[in-house]
Chain A
Amino acid sequence: MKGAILSFAHIHAFSYIECLKRIPEVEVSAIADEDEDRGKSIASRFNTRYYRDYQDLLKSEDIDFVVVCSENAKHKDMVIASAQAGKHILCEKPISTDIKSAKEMIETTNRYGVQFQIAFPVRFSPIVRRVKNMIDNGEFGKIFAFNCTNHGKMPGGWFVDKSLAGGGAIMDHTVHVMDILRWYLGCEAEYVYAEGDTLLHNIPSDDVGLVSVTFENGIFATIDTSWSRPKSFPIWGDVNIYMTAEKGAVEIEVFNQNLSLYNDKTMSVSWLGWGSNMDFLMVKSFISSIKENKPVEVTGYDGLKAMEVALAAYRSIELQEPVKLPLEE
């Protein structure tokens, strides 16, 4: 099976290509990147063909699937063109930057009969899955609430450019946790209230966000989406989910399987993960969905519903009141 990476604008592309290389029956044979210097050097490093224009790459008949890692606002065109070219698609999150384009992406991939998965690797974490199984077994009784964080360092670059990212920290960091909560509860968000602002960095986008979600079944949650980890923080960020239920409480700290490295050469401390590689588990699942022609584990619709909460958060900040879902297009 042959695949291609469309754009290395999102740094996760490097992890995905490494993970794909570990799957014996998969070959990454081409990449496309608008940035010619970056693209050529990556192509030579991973020994693939290079295309400046992804449209040219999509003409290659030997390519079975693509991984889309462009800036958020460019997902839509790449996904639709890839579907039209008959390629299966793994698309970086968030699915896009507005409801209308997300719906169009879902519809087009359906029409052309290609697999379309959104890259929510946290779904594949054995820690997160362990709790999913316990919830499904009813071990906690009735669930009451979630207190969640997806923190990061300020990423800079196109992430702070609203025209490319569709927002700032709230757009970047609402969706991973939101996807897990929807998956855990089998239920959609009904109300979103948010506070967001630019408080920590001198950037044009929001860098802090507190997104409050009330689900249709009354369960409530807060997601802290802030790029609030200082530059000196020993790891990139976190995904933490603290659940309170009738029969107990659960604290999930997804990126807590670390070693601490005290490094005199850099005079810094870093936390280096030894836990399961979720990216690998995710791409493996995507490949097996293609091979066995079975539904992907995280659908375009999941991507749409998670992004909708981020969009609702921005609207709530504008209105200073809770916003009811679903949003209009």
Chain B
Amino acid sequence: MLRVGIIGAGGMGKIHADCWSKIKEAKIQVICDIEKDKAESLAKIYNTDTATSSSDVIKRSDIDIVDICTPTPFHADDIILALKSGKHTICEKPIARTLESAKEVIRVAKEVDVKFMTAHVLRFFPEFSTAKNLIDSGAIGIPRMARMKRGGPYPVGKWNDWYSKVEMSGGCLVDTGVHDFDFLRWIFGDAERVYASALTWKNILHKDYGLATIRFKSRAMAQVEITWAHPPKTPMKVGFELIGTEGMLTYDNYSSTPLRIMKEGETFNTFSMESPITEDPYLGEIEHFVSCIKENKEPLITPEDAYRALEIALACIESARTNRPVNVGGEI
């Protein structure tokens, strides 16, 4: 039995706890949050211990896996502590808030004999993994260009309003964009340089938006739109176009939604769009991590992958701040 300690009982912690509860060979041992009542209300559902300090969780001898679901700036220290304590570690994206701390994570991960993965869950979303498989099978010829869009309303009402603090979250291009940057690297390989414009540094309360252009070493190029500027309570919007020498793959979550439910009292703006699917991407991600532990495999997302996605994201906000293209791909 793999015994799990979850650190952070916010939105992602809840999703991960639900996934762990569905894994036969795993058991959630403890749920930790600096806000005691949050830890307790989630612990009640899964009948686990609670803690308010991450190091208390990590030090426990009855824990095999640490799952870190805290805000970004707390990732690196807990990953490093967990790895050094001999725990298998899965951490929400991005791997760290700075490249220096991400480098330190990579250094430690190389020294220890446990599994570590950053949870770039997009790779487990069927619309994205199917696209990757199709591209690998040559469906669009050589992939050369991509357009990505992702976003919705501003993530308000979170702990300490941490998303609105650029020094913590990095803004939308870092927190949300890192998903697409990892996916683009999965398709195109390493990036060469980045240019971006964004609201991130303009201090507009609860609005962020960014447009990024990424050039890859393969000469491929991509355009990424990330928004946290849609009106509250509007649905998330996700889409992509992947263009190759012999075709194009497109996806748009608004137009490919297979289920629209209009109940009395709802209007065009409030009816719900759903896309039910039996394979939960978050569960798929956790199952993958468990299988890596059991079968002693390298996780799909390496520490270097997570570093490179963060590097692109940070280059984006640096470019947006300076109005200059920023080179990426430096030595780790």
Contacts and interface: CB of A to CB of B under 8 A. Distances in A.
Contacts of B199: 144-145
Contact of B229 (A210, A214, A249): A249
Nearest to A322: B323
B211 A212 contact: yes
Interface in A112-168: 144-145, 147, 149
Contacts of A249: 227, 229-231
Given A195-B221, A208-B221, A220 B197 contact: yes
A191 B322 CA distance: 12
A320 B325 contact: yes
A197 B220 CA distance: 9
B89 to A, nearest CB: 37
A214 B221 contact: no
Contacts of B145: 199-200, 208, 226, 228
Contacts, number: 92
How large, as a class, is the contact surface on chain B?
Answer: 20 to 34
Interface residues of A, number: 34
Interface in A209-251: 210, 212, 214, 218, 220-222, 224, 226, 228-230, 232-233, 242, 244, 246-249
A210 B223 contact: yes
Interface of A: 144-145, 147, 149, 191, 193, 195, 197, 199-200, 208, 210, 212, 214, 218, 220-222, 224, 226, 228-230, 232-233, 242, 244, 246-249, 320-322
Interface of B: 144-145, 147, 149, 193, 195, 197, 199, 202, 204, 207, 209, 211, 213, 215, 219-221, 223, 225, 227, 229-231, 241, 243-248, 323-325
Given A193-B195, A193-B325, A229-B248, 15 more contacts: A145-B209, A147-B149, A191-B323, A195-B215, A197-B221, A199-B219, A212-B197, A220-B211, A222-B213, A222-B225, A228-B145, A230-B243, A230-B248, A249-B227, A322-B323
10 contacts: A145-B209, A147-B149, A147-B211, A193-B195, A193-B213, A212-B195, A218-B202, A229-B248, A233-B248, A321-B324
